[in-house]
Amino acid sequence: MADLERSETKKEDIQTDTLDANKGEAYNDHVTAFAGLSRIQAMRKFWRACLFCFITAFGVIMDGYQTSLPGSVLANAGFIKQFGTIVNPTTGKISVNAKYISMWSGLAYLCQFIGNWLGGFISDRFGRRFTLYALTVVFIGGVITEIVARNYRDWLAAKMLMGLGQGLIQQGVLTYISEIAPTQLRGALMSTYGWSYALGQLFVSIALNALNKTDPTNYLKAIYSEFVFLGLWIIALPFLPETPWYYARKEDEVNAKKVMSRIYKGVEGYDTEREYNAMLLEIQEEKEKSHSNSQVALKDIFMGPHLRRSFASVFALVMQNWSGSPIIFNYTTYFLQQAGLPEPFQASVIIYCILIFSLMVSFYGIERLGRRTLILTGGLACTVFNVAIAGLGFAKKSDATDSATLAFICLWVFMYAFGFAGTGWTCAAEIATPRLRAKTTAFAASTNAISGAIFNSTVPLMISATSRNWGVKTLFMFAILGGFGTVINFFMLPETKGRTFAEMDEMYDLKIAPRKMKSHVTSLEQSGLKNH
């Protein structure tokens, strides 16, 4: 308590006109002395903090590998031999029951939700670092369960553990990076989550492709390979410090400053006292906003102009599922096998290489072309490619048909990553008014999650040759959904690029049509205080 009183006294008595060495301007000591740094300058000065973020992102590569492998190994001959229960009366071939695949996916998704909520509790109660240790234990349990699994019930337990681990890592890693990363680099470093996860998926495709060529009946070799990423993560984990924000929120000044000294060791001009005071002020403002948000009812996001904003956020985000991603990404190799491609594992490697390249392009496009342009372009393109791929399901099987199917899938992947990769989440956060942002984004995320859970449970039943046997024709359904979503977004989705929150509030209050907001001249622009 005495430490807290001293901190409060420092905040009240601190001088307000300290010269900032980085900019040569007068700054309030409540503000970080490094607010004026560019991204490049921040990266050079705070390279140690960036390094900790990159180490944490490696955990996401592990996550991408661990959680994607169980879905991709479904097409492995050894896995089918072990877990297959359906015998084709014509060919005599054994296959995995589509109902089992649906159950594995659905319950794994449920455990992911539990992991998200549990991760938040663990993180706030015991620390961000403790969450990273917790998810490591869960993943170890998941891998061991996969190794000993010999029937669909055992594999279900493994999938549920992996789902729980994924929920923990989503909450734990994003929170950790957001509190360690320099302010100027926070967005860029948090975006490494998507890159790292896609990289993990790529490694899965490479591993299964190699296994398919060398020892296709021994699926356990692929499971054992998970220990490679898990082992490297365990080695790196002890080097990661707790975040100073966690200690500051717990009013533990001693440990907060101790961690700050470690993370920012050797940074020229770094004043721990000043930076800690700036942190305390921001936490205080955060608490005030939190108190204000607690007075906001969920019904408020559906009142007046906020109703349009809420549903604009929802439809920007659900396009990720409506465009067909539950098929292409969650069951990549399995889907390619059902599509009849002779080398499904090899094709999956190509797909994930394209995904990573397109993600790189999208980071440029989102600021250059705008959010609305990317989502509408991606929606239209994915709809067309869905129709093309599904239409090939009626064609007679041949090498030309297989090549055309793979080509359209690759084009679909490129446009999906370019149009929806991070754009949907960006729009969900930018469309809402600041006062209602927390509840609006929660509503959009929950709607998207429900959509994902439904599709991940039903898709295996649709594409399986032992069930509905729609195969690639399933994409006709996603073509309809994607087309419908694109039309809705055309009328409901505004362009938020370069717009302040005040400008968005003004345009919605004036009932400007979302499709016309990009060209609308706001009062701020009319006053000459802002230029495009």
* Count of H-run helices and E-run strands, the chain: 25, 4
Query: Where do the H-state alpha helices sit in 323-436?
Result: 325-328, 332-338, 344-368, 371-391, 399-420, 423-431
Run of H or E residues at 50: helix 47-72
Q: How confident is the model at residue 18 (pLDDT cuts 50, 70, 90)?
A: very low
Q: How confident is the model at residue 515 (pLDDT cuts 50, 70, 90)?
A: very high
Residues belonging to the chain? 532
Short-list 383, 350, 356, 426, CA closest to 195: 356
Residue appearing with tokens 């992991």 = 115
Q: How confident is the model at residue 4 (pLDDT cuts 50, 70, 90)?
A: very low
Short-list 330, 410, 335, CA closest to 67: 330
Top-confidence range, 184-188, 209-213, 528-532: 209-213
Strands 86-87 and 94-95: antiparallel
Cα–Cα distance, 41 to 267 (Å, whole number): 12
DSSP state of 26: E
- Over 70: is that where the pLDDT of 244 sits? yes
Residue 32, pLDDT score: 65
Residue 312, pLDDT score: 92
Residue 335, pLDDT score: 64
Top-confidence range, 230-239, 244-253, 442-451, 456-465: 230-239
pLDDT tens readout for residues 106-140: 788 788 878 877 887 888 889 889 999 999 999 99
- Over 80: is that where the pLDDT of 217 sits? yes
- Over 90: is that where the pLDDT of 466 sits? no
Residue 52 in tokens: 């900790």
Run of H or E residues at 27: strand 26-27
- Over 70: is that where the pLDDT of 291 sits? no
| Domains of the chain, start order | 39-240 (1.20.1250.20), 242-294 (no CATH), 296-532 (1.20.1250.20)
Q: Give the percent of the chain with pLDDT over 70.
A: 83
Cα–Cα distance, 469 to 393 (Å, whole number): 11
Query: For residue 100, which amino acid is it?
Result: Y
Tell me the torsion sign for CA atoms 177, 180, 183, 185. Answer: negative
Q: How confident is the model at residue 382 (pLDDT cuts 50, 70, 90)?
A: very high
Query: For residue 352, which amino acid is it?
Result: Y
- List the end-to-end C-alpha distance of the chain, in Å, as a whole number: 50
Q: Which residue has the higher pLDDT, 151 or 40?
A: 151
Cα–Cα distance, 312 to 438 (Å, whole number): 15
Cα–Cα distance, 83 to 155 (Å, whole number): 9
pLDDT tens readout for residues 83-95: 988 887 777 788 8
Residue 27, pLDDT score: 42
pLDDT tens readout for residues 438-461: 677 768 777 777 787 788 777 776
Residue 453, pLDDT score: 75
Contact status, residue 349 vs residue 204, Cβ threshold 8 Å: no
Q: Give the percent of the chain with pLDDT over 90.
A: 23
Query: For residue 498, which amino acid is it?
Result: G
- Over 80: is that where the pLDDT of 188 sits? no
Cα–Cα distance, 306 to 437 (Å, whole number): 10
Cα–Cα distance, 43 to 356 (Å, whole number): 23
Residue 17, pLDDT score: 34
Residue 79 in tokens: 């896995």
Residue 286, pLDDT score: 64
Cα–Cα distance, 202 to 213 (Å, whole number): 17
What's the mean pLDDT in 20-26?
38
Average pLDDT, the chain: 81
Q: How confident is the model at residue 374 (pLDDT cuts 50, 70, 90)?
A: very high
pLDDT tens readout for residues 296-312: 666 778 888 888 998 99
Residue 20, pLDDT score: 39
Q: How confident is the model at residue 99 (pLDDT cuts 50, 70, 90)?
A: confident
Tell me the torsion sign for CA atoms 107, 109, 112, 116. Answer: negative
Distances in Å between the Cα of 531 and the Cα atoms of 371, 499, 520, 521 are: 19, 11, 13, 10
